[in-house]
């Protein structure tokens, strides 16, 4: 798994901000929007299509995406989707999008031009997409088994995290229901939302995320979806030994 982006919805640096983290020369303080890609037996699986998707795939020299799996339908997780247009040529068919019902509904509304009659369009004019429904039931995809993890993302919004073997990817959450905590036992690596030091209505603060990691005791924890309020080196220096801030390009073995 490569963490393609580890930044919050506006990215870091934030437009118009001159703070020390936004002006930092350390590339680990430069965070594009949250996404990850998994090299699986059956191909490359992209988790979310962030607005930075094109530059993320170019940066990591990844030329092919076989399928996309969505955590949820917020703008910072879907609005790179149009750049999948090249994949329909490489795959010789539509790109499969694995998601829950409300994610499909949002993508159909936001990308209505991709789902209307294409009679007067050339083949690459719009993304060719095919939806595959997922629920909280485990499923197989590209030769790997996925366990969806229900997460709360604010009081009225649910998202999915995913467990693949002993690695779990859980972004955009501020609470984990008890049943989901059970599914996150015995991890080698947990990737977990940690927005900033202060609390937030829809994301874990760093202290809240550290507390979750203490409860679950994965061998390693990496925090993601971070704002410019978390400086990479100085924050890492204060974290327990098994926990670190993630950064764009971080590679995590799938075990």
What is the contact surface with Zn ion in residues (CB under 5 A)? 14, 17, 19, 22, 74, 76, 172, 228
> Which lies closer to Zn ion via its Cβ, residue 128 or residue 180?
180
> Which lies closer to Zn ion via its Cβ, residue 71 or residue 128?
71
Tokens for 205, please give them. 């603060």
Side-chain half-sphere exposure of 55, counting CA atoms within 13 A: 9
Main-chain phi, psi angles of 121, to 5 degrees: -110, 150
| Smallest distance, Zn ion to C-beta of residue 239, A | 21
Q: Are 52 and 63 in contact (CB under 8 A)?
A: no
CA 46 – CA 138 distance, rounded (Å): 18
> Which lies closer to Zn ion via its Cβ, residue 17 or residue 123?
17
> Which lies closer to Zn ion via its Cβ, residue 76 or residue 100?
76
> Which lies closer to Zn ion via its Cβ, residue 19 or residue 118?
19
Residue with tokens 């247009």: 85
**Which of 172, 169, 54, 192 is CA-nearest to residue 103?**
172
Alpha-carbon dihedral 221, 200, 33, 101, rounded to 10 degrees: 90
């Amino acid at each position: 798994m490569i963490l393609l982006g580890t930044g919050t919805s506006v990215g870091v640096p934030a437009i118009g901000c001159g703070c020390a983290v936004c002006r930092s020369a350390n590339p680990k303080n430069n965070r594009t929007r949250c996404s990850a890609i998994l090299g699986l037996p059956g191909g490359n699986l992209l988790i979310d299509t962030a607005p930075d998707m094109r530059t993320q795939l170019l940066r990591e020299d990844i030329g092919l995406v076989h399928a996309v799996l969505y955590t949820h339908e917020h703008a910072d997780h879907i609005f790179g989707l149009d750049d999948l247009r090249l994949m329909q040529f490489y795959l010789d068919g539509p790109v499969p999008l694995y998601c829950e019902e409300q994610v499909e509904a949002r993508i159909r509304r936001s990308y209505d031009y991709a789902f209307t009659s294409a009679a007067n369009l050339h083949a690459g004019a719009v993304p060719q997409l095919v939806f595959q429904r997922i629920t909280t039931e485990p499923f197989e995809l590209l030769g790997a088994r996925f366990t969806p993890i229900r997460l709360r993302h604010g009081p009225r919004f649910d998202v999915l995290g995913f467990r693949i073997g002993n690695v779990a990817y859980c972004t955009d959450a501020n609470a984990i229901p008890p049943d989901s905590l059970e599914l996150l036992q015995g991890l080698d690596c947990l990737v977990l939302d940690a927005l900033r030091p202060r609390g937030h209505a829809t994301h874990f603060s760093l202290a809240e995320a550290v507390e979750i990691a203490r409860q679950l005791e994965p061998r390693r924890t990496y925090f993601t979806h971070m704002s410019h309020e978390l400086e990479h080196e100085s924050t890492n220096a204060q974290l327990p030994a098994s926990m670190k801030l993630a950064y764009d390009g971080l590679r995590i073995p799938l075990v």
